[in-house]
Amino acid sequence: MSKSTSDEPGFRNMSKLSNSFLPRLVFSNSKGEILDHPHLVALGRSGRDLVDIDPRWLIPLPENSRLYFLPARAAVGRDPESGELREVKEANAVAAFLPPAYTIFLHAGYRKQSAVFAPLLPLYAYGAVCWYRSKFHVPAVRIDADVKHDPAKFSIRRIESAIHKRRAQFPNNRLIEHHGVNCALRYHCPNAQNYFLNRWEAPIAVSAACNAACVGCISEQPKDTVRSPQDRLAFVPSVEEIVEMAAPHLESAPRAIVSFGQGCEGEPLLQAELIAKAIREIRRHTSRGTIHLNTNGSHPKAVQKLIEAGLDSIRVSLNSARPEIYARYYLPRHYSFADVKKTIQLCARAGLWTSINYLSFPGVTDLPVEYAALCELIDDSGLQSIQWRNLNIDPDWYLDSIGLHKTGEAMGMPVLLEKIREKFPDVRFGYFNPPKENWASPKRTVVI
């Protein structure tokens, strides 16, 4: 049986606190109403373990968050008097999906009512949520202060009008059509919407294929798993289509970035020759702005070609710095974690702004063995930034996929963040790709 933690580093035994200071369990009843329990204390999940939620980790539920009930997953709380864990009868657990720029510290606490009938959850991050001081709270931190994905910054009317004008200006450009109709309007992609609003980061999707079969891939899933939240790009754009989209944006937008490698495509390095030609042609039009690549980092030689063409920055995605855990999630084809590490080293040494997109999962990412592997990667590569992004996946599906059957040794995500900050003070924490203008700005200290 899962049990709550004691006073291990990163966790506190909440039984030592007065009941009036304890976060209360949130659950969904048979009517779909979300309620707070009058007695039971809220729990979160760290890996497979149900743990107490430390009030020091809590922030008010961010605006534009979403609350989901978890089907066939019982809401579980702790009796503050006996310390025993109790399920709420005929109630589903509730999770919070936070907006961009927030990193969660715990997943929602639940127990599957039946491993046979509990459906796989859609590809979201299921953060813990509780009722505390008369409002919803979550154990999380805003890891990046940039507002470029904040919902308040977007007007759908302005976006629709801008898409209409841009499509009229470039009627034969399939890439602009794709990012307008599919990404900006259908998927509500903030980067695509920002492109049509002529600001900040603009996406450039180029690859219809991939050389990995990530368990939680958001653009292509086997029929017997979950539905992909996005459809993958179905064509390869021409150099002309890329330049028509990218060059004017770089020339005119504030803090301008164009980024190859999007959620609506496969792996952009499979189109390295096309990207290299496009970068050279873009730079014939303008020297302004940042040309960026989001990638799995699978082909160092292809990355070298892009560096020579004029690539400015790169972000390499990984779920773990341990080769075996990486491989079980990414299921790489014809490359290995050694290639990924070589790409990070290559880019850092070449002077690119080099980040990792670290797909974080409480109870795994904050294991001591994961911390040690991440430290080794930072030491060996010289990367400049870690983007602490939540891994969007059913928690049990992920743990089963990577073969982690026992947990309980995690230090806690806040402790992990502080330990990395102390050991590597020059490594910046964030969530978004920064433009050149921000590379030299003071590093923001994350206060946990």
Q: Nearest-CA neighbor of 294 among 218, 228, 367?
A: 218
Q: What is the DSSP secondary structure assignment for residue 388, as one 8-state letter?
A: E
Contacts of 63 (CB under 8 A, 6+ apart): 99, 151, 152
Question: How far is residue 22's CA from residue 137's CA, in Å, rounded to a whole number?
Answer: 12
Written as one letter, the residue type at 443 is K
Please answer whether residues 269 and 302 qualify as being in contact, where contact means their C-beta atoms are separated by less than 8 angstroms.
yes
Question: How far is residue 52's CA from residue 6's CA, in Å, rounded to a whole number?
Answer: 9
Q: Nearest-CA neighbor of 319 among 301, 334, 349, 297?
A: 297
Contacts of 97 (CB under 8 A, 6+ apart): 65, 66, 67, 68, 124, 125, 126, 127
Note the pLDDT of residue 90.
Answer: 86
| Block residue for tokens 């859609």 | 122
Distance between alpha carbon 287 and the CA centroid of its chain, in Å?
30
Contacts of 25 (CB under 8 A, 6+ apart): 36, 37, 40, 41, 42, 43, 75, 76, 77, 88, 130, 131
What the block records as the tokens of 344 is 């990070």
What the block records as the tokens of 443 is 């590093």
Q: What share of the chain is helix, strand, coil (3-state, %, to 5)?
A: 30, 25, 45
Please answer whether residues 355 and 383 qualify as being in contact, where contact means their C-beta atoms are separated by less than 8 angstroms.
yes
pLDDT along the chain (448 residues), means of 10: 39 53 93 94 97 96 96 95 93 97 98 84 98 97 96 95 97 97 96 98 98 96 90 96 98 98 96 98 98 98 98 98 98 98 98 98 98 98 97 97 89 98 97 94 44
Q: Nearest-CA neighbor of 356 among 440, 262, 437, 431?
A: 431
Instruction: State whether residue 378 is helix, strand or coil.
Output: helix
Question: How far is residue 319's CA from residue 268's CA, in Å, rounded to a whole number?
Answer: 19
Please answer whether residues 41 and 78 qualify as being in contact, where contact means their C-beta atoms are separated by less than 8 angstroms.
yes
Please answer whether residues 5 and 52 qualify as being in contact, where contact means their C-beta atoms are separated by less than 8 angstroms.
yes
What the block records as the tokens of 154 is 């977007």
Contacts of 438 (CB under 8 A, 6+ apart): 255
Q: What is the DSSP secondary structure assignment for residue 271, as one 8-state letter?
A: G
Contacts of 125 (CB under 8 A, 6+ apart): 97, 98, 104, 107, 390, 391, 392, 393
Please answer whether residues 109 and 140 qualify as being in contact, where contact means their C-beta atoms are separated by less than 8 angstroms.
no
Q: How many residues are present in the chain?
A: 448
Q: Which domains does the chain have, with CATH numbers?
A: 14-142 (no CATH), 151-438 (3.20.20.70)
Q: How many C-beta neighbours within 10 Å does residue 58 have?
A: 21
Contacts of 244 (CB under 8 A, 6+ apart): 170, 173, 175, 176
